[in-house]
Amino acid sequence: MALSKGDDYPIHQTSEPVAYAGTDRNFYDRYFFNGYAPDGGGFFAMAFGVYPHLDIADAHFSFIRGGTQYCLHASAELGMERMGMRVGPIRLEVIEPLHALKVTIEESDGIAGEFTFTGRAFPIEEPRFIHRIGPRAFMDYTRMTQNGHYEGWLSLDGEKHEMVDGTAGTRDRSWGVRPIGARDPQPIPGAPAPSFFWQWTPISFGDGSLFFHVNNDTHGKAWNTRAAWAPDGADARDLAEGHGSMRTRLLPETRWPAGGTLSLALKGAPEQVTFEPLDRFQMKGLGYTHPEWGHGMHHGPLRVAREDYDLASLDALAMDNLHVQTLVRATGSDGREGIGVFEQLILGPFAPLGLEGYGDGAD
């Protein structure tokens, strides 16, 4: 299966590339962006989701300033038009498929912005994510990921900030089946209590981009994982694939990463990369595990709302605060230095880190 220009538009019907079609109530099509200044400041992120069989689209924009995370949420009825690419004040444009995209946030509740993402290399296609709980497909989707550079500006309560030269980050596109909208009330007979372990580390180095992800079961066995290296300017034939393993540390009394060491067998990449945390971004600011603004929830014809978080005062073990992207400084064993994110979500028990239930954190 191969990516095509059509895969940069929200027109998919299955977890496979656009050449294939099908139907599922939980089908989704999503864009995601994050970015940061070269010194590690000014973290921002955006998510835009289309849920054709729920007839809903939603978009979220969120960024950090001075220990506070500012969020703008928007949800609208889709009207069966999947190519609208706009939810209230948040608009997305594909300028050049698989290479350049533009996000515009018209001023709403004091938040505004406009920025363009330009890819550094051809996006990688990750292994298809298929995970079942008993007989039911919990996940079945494809994702492509790409590092790049940003140009543009953000504004908070009338104060405009131009993005500095070297502002970088990651964008991804995923499509397929995930739990979205209202929870299914029909239980699965004999199904175990839900659990989930996820780590993702897209890193920007000076000469290329490193990608690693892993989904583990509760015993630490991977059911989906891969490492990839994309040299600057690479086309699809120049991308390198390999393997990695992560040794992770958690902050005490949390499930948030305190750093880690990634060992790699990957052409072009360092043999080891260590991660030093710089800042923490709460993924609920983009709707992930949000109790009110979860993806695909119905809020009427159109609803837009602002939400601010004092990051230092959040309950680290509350369910909606577990999912984070930690901005990190990355140092390779060969001396190369980079910057990127360490995304992590741990739900339920995870034996390798000594987590036994749902409300416990690290010692």
Which pLDDT does position 133 carry in this prediction? Answer: 82
Q: Are the CB atoms for 48 and 194 separated by under 8 Å?
A: no
Q: What is the C-alpha to C-alpha distance for residues 220 and 352, in angstroms, rounded to an integer?
A: 6
Helix, strand, coil distribution of the chain in percent, nearest 5:
5, 55, 40
For residue 99, what is the DSSP state? T
Give CA 354 to chain center in angstroms: 26
Indicate the helix (H) or strand (E) that contains 218: none
- Spell 156-176 as b/e; 16+ CB within 10 A means b: beeeebebeeebbbbbbbbbb
CA atoms within 13 A on the CB side of 328: 29
Which pLDDT does position 299 carry in this prediction? Answer: 98
């299955």: which residue's tokens?
14
Q: What is the C-alpha to C-alpha distance for residues 41 and 305, in angstroms, rounded to an integer?
A: 25
* Tokens at 176, concatenated: 């397929």
Q: Categorise residue 26: left if φ over 0, alpha if ψ from -120 to 50, beta otherwise.
A: alpha
Q: For the segment 46-62, what is each residue's pLDDT rounded down to a tens digit? A: 999 999 888 899 999 99
Q: What is the CA radius of gyration of the chain?
A: 19
For residue 239, what is the DSSP state? -
Indicate the helix (H) or strand (E) that contains 343: strand 337-347
Give CA 64 to chain center in angstroms: 16
The gap between the terminal CA atoms of the chain, to the nearest Å, is 44
Q: Categorise residue 141: left if φ over 0, alpha if ψ from -120 to 50, beta otherwise.
A: beta
Q: For the segment 154-168, what is each residue's pLDDT rounded down to a tens digit? A: 999 999 999 999 999
Which pLDDT does position 196 carry in this prediction? Answer: 94
pLDDT at 171 exceeding the cut of 70 = yes
Q: For the segment 311-327, what is each residue's pLDDT rounded down to a tens digit? A: 999 999 999 999 999 99
Beta bridge partners of residue 46, listed in sequence order: 33, 61
pLDDT at 285 exceeding the cut of 50 = yes
Q: pLDDT averaged over the chain?
A: 93
Number of neighbouring beta carbons within 10 Å of residue 333: 13
DSSP structure string for 3-70: --GGGGSS--SSSS-TT-----TTEEEEEEEEEE-TTS---EEEEEEEETTTTEEEEEEEEEETTEEE
pLDDT at 20 exceeding the cut of 50 = no
Q: What is the mean pLDDT of residues 259-263?
A: 97
Q: What is the mean pLDDT of residues 114-133?
A: 95
Number of neighbouring beta carbons within 10 Å of residue 38: 13
Q: Considering only CA atoms, which of 345, 213, 210 is closest in space to residue 286?
A: 345
CA 292 → CA 57, 83, 253, 260, 298, distances in Å? 15, 25, 26, 32, 10
* Tokens at 223, concatenated: 């059911």
Q: Are the CB atoms for 330 and 203 separated by under 8 Å?
A: yes
